[in-house]
Amino acid sequence: MSRVAYVNGRYVPHRRATVHVEDRGYQFADGVYEVCEVRGGRLVDERRHMERLQRSLAELRIAAPMPLKALGMVLRETVRRNRVRDGIVYLQITRGVAPRDHAFPPAGTRPSVVVTARSLDRERLEKAAAEGIAVITVPENRWPRVDIKSIALLPNVLAKQAAREQGAKEAWFVAPDGTVTEGSSSNAWIVTASGKVVTRPADHAILRGITRTVLLDVLAANGLELEERPFTVAEAYAAREAFITSASQIVMPVVSIDGRPVANGAPGMIATVLRRDFHRFAEIG
């Protein structure tokens, strides 16, 4: 089946879906994005993703290209046209097309909107979750506003590639004080020896993951104790469990960090339960 992308008001064949060379996303990474899980053809946590999008746009002073309700319709239509049952929908908004100049373009420049959708192999993801993944650690080298979901992802790209080259699936950024901030495309969590679930507070040093937000409810419902505080790499090495969260990975157990097994090197019980229960707490449209 041929894929379809939404580009600035039109649904076009994916292979011919293009933006202008002077799009500010292309030239300056001057834009924001969202990735939403699709499950059974429906969007997961659309409201929260839209709220975060609105915040990212406001922080960067990019105008909303259309009412959020209309944007939601475009997301759903893109999912429908691509016949995605289980997968993701990607939305990107940039400051638009204008002659290259670092400062903002003239008022009235229309933001560019691109939406794509694709299927993910759910069986493969479940298999990965049953096995768990390896992560490596890398020095934090991003700007201090990664709470904004900007498309400027060069450090994340390099970190993920470093992970690949070391046979791992994710890289955790480590701040100069030795604490883990988050993954290159996920939030980072550990479970301590005493069974407390630890994740970094959502300040400017991490993206406030939607999966992270929903998981706080899953934790509470399961009577699990949460500690929202930074944790060190040393603590992670000694953890009983570790896992990552993101819209596409949900809850993914981490079974090794920098080549050292986490506990006995198998996915932990808490991560497995959280993964199992996640969609009962998500808003499925």
Give contact residues for ligand PMP (rule: CB under 6 A). 35, 182, 185-187, 207, 209-212, 245-247
Which stretch of DSSP H or E encloses residue 215?
A: helix 210-221
Residue 137 pairs in a beta bridge with 172
Tell me which of 127, 149, 169, 196 is the catalytic residue.
Answer: 149
Residue 210 Cβ vs ligand PMP, minimum distance, rounded to whole Å: 4
Q: Which is nearer to ligand PMP, 11 or 90 (CB)?
A: 90
Least Å distance, CB 16 to ligand PMP, is 27
Q: Minimum distance from CB of 264 to ligand PMP (Å)?
A: 27
Residue 78, by phi and psi: left (phi above 0), alpha (psi -120 to 50) or beta?
alpha
Residue with the CB atom nearest ligand PMP in the bound state: 209
For 280, residues 6+ apart whose C-beta sits below 8 A from its C-beta are 218
149 in catalytic set: yes
Q: 53 or 74, CB closer to ligand PMP?
A: 53
Cβ distance to ligand PMP smaller for residue 97 or 140? 140
SS3 233: helix
What whole-number distance in Å separates Cα of residue 211 and Cα of residue 146?
16
The span from the CA of 244 to the CA of 255, in Å, is 11
- Asked whether 91 and 36 are in contact (CB, 8 A), the reply is yes
**Residue nearer to ligand PMP on the CB measure, 23 or 182:** 182
Pick the closest to residue 215 from 135, 285, 279 (CA basis): 279
| 58 contacts 111 by C-beta, under 8 angstroms | no
**Paired strand residues for 134:** 256
Supply the residues annotated as catalytic. 149
